[in-house]
Amino acid sequence: MKKVLIIVYYWPPAGGGGVQRWVKFVKYLPQLGWEPILYVPENPDYPILDESLAAEVPEGIQIIRRPIWEPRKLYRRFLGKSTKGPKKANKAKLDQLFYLDPKERSWKQNLGIWLRGNLFIPDARVFWINPSVRFLKKYLKQHPVDAVITSGPPHSLHLIGLKLKRKINITWVADFRDPWIEIEYYGKMMLTKWADAKHRRLEVEVLKESDAIIKATYYWVERDRKLGAHYPLAITNGYDEDDFSHAPPALSEHFLMSHIGTLANDRNPHLLWQALSQLSAEIPGFKEDLRVQVVGKTDEVVVSTMNDLGLGDCLVNPGYVSHDEAIRLMQASQVLLLLINDVDYNAPGRMTGKIFEYLAAERPILLIGPEEGDAAKVVRMTGAGDVVTFTDLERLKAVIRSYYEQYKAGNLSIDSKGYGQFSRRAISGQMADLLNELTTS
């Protein structure tokens, strides 16, 4: 069996979609002729935890853990618990400070963002690069592998792969779960011209010197080719059939519309809240039946927007739940909300990992985003729901009204087809095929 060293930052007990991507690859790659060896931080700073994901990791998988220095902990100590400045800025999480108006942030917060963007390049895990390269250079000479994969963000991990490639000429694949320069907060990091140039130079070096570049969506592949990547390709996220082997729970008695996953203020769907508020006034009994469930980290701005439009009584906010529970909540929902960040240069390539589990849950998907984006193409291809643009209020109301009428008639359902190509087993087959191609002498 061939061996692949997989370098990741997010690994159980961390929670979230980025963890699931590689946990599932590790689950299925041994069945496809590849033995995964994990390299992960020993003392990481994870924003969310999901202990249940550890059960997904096959027994006997070798996991190498090495210390990492986390400046985020120092940053939190620096910020302290300020009582000055706007309430919204004081309560904002580290990862959400980018999205606030600089005037709403304290001088410490603005300084922290400037330091993050201009000194910690490409990100705050930059201090793990050189110690990891020194350790892995020795390790790989003593324990050779057939290929190395780095997964980012954090994109510092790709620089580990880049340096190993230059020093010992490994076969190296860089997996981008999210973009580097095109990530929606990139322009909000208060970058100097020097820092922006360095970010761009490092990204191009990774694109050009890796043996293959993997993107989790289709949109970015041609862009990477134009920047010099000789082998860019898309290997999406997916759903695990094992996660859906149980009998589905009963549907909610309410007209339950659910969003699963992080709902930050840059993804706050103002058009949706406006539509629901108007329909509540126009359709007798609609508001009494309506429930909007947000599962996962939800920004306070989202909650306040719903309250302002009279929808606070309809909100169900369980917070972060285990992956297993999230799937059951999907299956019990009348409608699943797929919300794309409204960022011109980024939105077409946004295809959040939840879309594939939404497909497997077999409930109608309401996507608010670009009509020609990757997520919209998947929804249309599988016949899994409806796509509405960021500005089309009347169409959004019409779609929701139709769903509601079907719900009241007791026949709200979907007949989606062809989504089996996105099973984790099938996706892992694509990964194994790529590794076989790159390592066949």
- Give yes or no for residue 364 having a pLDDT over 80: yes
pLDDT at position 426 is 96
- Give yes or no for residue 26 having a pLDDT over 70: yes
Place of tokens 């130079």: 201
Specify whether the CB–CB gap between 38 and 310 falls below 8 A: no
Q: What is the arithmetic mean of pLDDT over 3-31?
A: 94
pLDDT at position 441 is 67
Three-state SS at 421: helix
Structure tokens at 427: 């996706």
Specify whether the CB–CB gap between 327 and 351 falls below 8 A: no
The CA distance from 166 to 283, in Å, is 65
The CA distance from 312 to 246, in Å, is 33
Q: What is the arithmetic mean of pLDDT over 200-208?
A: 97
Provide the CA 48 distance to its chain's centre, in angstroms.
13
pLDDT at position 96 is 60
The CA distance from 354 to 102, in Å, is 31
Q: What is the arithmetic mean of pLDDT over 48-58?
A: 88
pLDDT at position 95 is 55
Place of tokens 């497909």: 359
Specify whether the CB–CB gap between 106 and 92 falls below 8 A: no
Q: What is the arithmetic mean of pLDDT over 120-143?
A: 96
pLDDT at position 82 is 45
Question: Could you give the C-alpha distances from 316 to 19, 76, 290, 344, in angstroms and in order?
Answer: 25, 30, 10, 30
The pLDDT tens digits of the residues spanning 369-381 come to: 999 899 999 999 9
Q: Which residues pair with 213 in a beta bridge?
A: 174, 232
User: Taking Cα atoms as reference points, which of 332, 322, 330, 362 lies closest to residue 20?
Assistant: 322
Q: What is the arithmetic mean of pLDDT over 204-231?
A: 94
CB-facing half-sphere around the CA of 115: CA atoms within 13 A? 13
- Give yes or no for residue 248 having a pLDDT over 70: yes
Pick the residue with more confidence: 74 or 33? 33
pLDDT at position 99 is 59
Please state the pTM of the whole predicted model. Answer: 0.88
Share of the chain above pLDDT 90, in %: 73
The CA distance from 368 to 411, in Å, is 23
- Give yes or no for residue 406 having a pLDDT over 60: yes
Provide the CA 133 distance to its chain's centre, in angstroms.
27
| Lowest-pLDDT choice from 58-67, 111-120, 167-176 | 111-120
The CA distance from 41 to 72, in Å, is 15
The CA distance from 111 to 102, in Å, is 10
Specify whether the CB–CB gap between 337 and 396 falls below 8 A: no
User: Taking Cα atoms as reference points, which of 264, 349, 178, 76 lies closest to residue 186?
Assistant: 178
- Give yes or no for residue 386 having a pLDDT over 70: yes
Specify whether the CB–CB gap between 39 and 145 falls below 8 A: no
| Lowest-pLDDT choice from 198-202, 324-328, 331-335, 341-345 | 341-345
Q: What is the arithmetic mean of pLDDT over 359-366?
A: 97
The pLDDT tens digits of the residues spanning 68-126 come to: 998 877 777 766 654 344 444 344 455 566 656 666 777 788 787 888 888 899 999 99
Q: Which residues pair with 214 in a beta bridge?
A: 175, 233
Cis peptide before 153 (omega within 30 of 0): yes
Structure tokens at 208: 């050009």
Which residue segments constitute the domains of the chain, with CATH numbers given? 2-69+121-238+423-439 (3.40.50.2000), 71-118 (no CATH), 241-420 (3.40.50.2000)
Q: What is the arithmetic mean of pLDDT over 52-65?
A: 92
